Structure 1
Amino acid sequence: MSLTPATRTAAAVLTAALLVPLAACGTGDDTANDAGAEGAGLTVLAAASLTDVFETAGAAYEKSHPGTRITFSFAGSQELVAQVSQGAPADVLVTADTKSMDKVKADTGTPAIIARNRLVIATAEGNPFKVDALADLADPGLKVVLAAPEVPAGKYSRQILDRQHLTVNPVSQEPNVRSVLSKVELGEADAGLVYRTDAESAKDKADAVEIPDAQNAVAQYPAATLKDSEHAEAAAAFVAWLSAPEGQKILQDAGFQKP
């Protein structure tokens, strides 16, 4: 069937209208690609104990790197490692211990230690059970919660308890250190071992009992780019920034120790 002149004109107008947004999308993609590190959307897999400080760091980084947007996924380091091993799309990995990072070394660039941390005993506000030392955690009448053995905080906890020859039977073993803190805050546990920075973030809801350095463990936080990242340049820039003065100030202001 032949088209009338009026029909052909209408069809041409409709085709042109459909092509305009497609052309605009193409231009936008080219602009984003040309932006490189300044136009990337980064996904960062980070240890749960970094939740508060990384939210602050992410906002600061986005402000100083216009066009970059960072999405954080927080979990226990063992969960993050599993995600990487299963091919989850991400750009940067930050764990709470070097052993976890070593498990996926074939998938990452060279890690850099960005911070250190130490454990404290978290108790309910006011420390109603008068917990003063690690030895008090062995009291069978005290409800103690620890991170699970496969979690870095759990490994560190058992390390320091074993060194003191203390037997502690936790009422629960949590998948990450923030869950330990939550149990104490909610009154579901009388005490728990968490990082100093976690306790600092909840100082209006829980108390922290310091553990002497000679009895403590030092947690190290390595950060690395992921080799499958679609934004390799931007990922490397963020990892480098974490070790630079601005990133370090944010970490240390939150209570983390120097690398």
Structure 2
Amino acid sequence: MAEQRAADESFSGGPAGGRVPTVIADDLHIVYRVYGGSAGRGSATAALNRIVRRSPGAGVRLVHAVRGVSFTAYRGEAIGLIGSNGSGKSTLLRAVAGLLPAERGRVYTDGQPSLLGVNAAMMNDLTGERNVILGGLAMGMSREEIRARYQEIVDFSGINEKGDFISLPMRTYSSGMAARLRFAIAAAKDHDVLMIDEALATGDRAFQKRSEARIRELRKEAGTVFLVSHNNKSIRDTCDRVLWLERGELLMDGPTDEVIKAYEKETNR
């Protein structure tokens, strides 16, 4: 109850000194359960029994992906997440988005977090045009808003720079083209909390510059942006704060240049 009151006070603008929190992670732990192939334990009935009994059972591997992470994000911030592969960056974003349950601790959010990943599902048999409409509707935009922003989305993505690809099925797109279109759709809407997983790693420098400029606009419009990237230059150009995770633990939280310098020194990058 004390934790809940503290979070409520922060969201109401109390102890935060006038800054408005959008995300509070409080001693967050995320654990994956990987069910192995022990003899006689691989059937659907056995799995259901384990879930009902809340017992991991034999042959179950527990992967502690996020370990006691705590931070507060504020409106108007762009926060980079860095760390080696498997450090828990994407898992943390999925937990903030409400897609993964906490094993321990809590996540509080003000507004609806939106997670954009390069692997986000799109309908490959539909055209890019239809995916723009469906993606906009999924984000809560009206058909009128989508129509008004449609050409802006297409132009931003650069899909049609080498032909009329927007009228072709998504299955004909390269992975980079699809990722650029996903980002363009997500960036067309103002978000309370927008989380971007590696989207800026795709496309040429011109597209990356457009993306970085749009992130700065989203910040000015009172949103919060989280960016996961292995491109430290994109983090430096876009974010004013960085969280450094390794093996699920938050090693450092501070100004972008300070954290990235420490990270590069530690990893010899």
TM over 0.5: no
> Under a length normalisation based on structure 2, what TM-score does the superposition of the two structures give?
0.26
Q: Which has the higher strand share?
A: 2
Q: Which has the higher helix share?
A: 1
Bigger radius of gyration among the two: 1
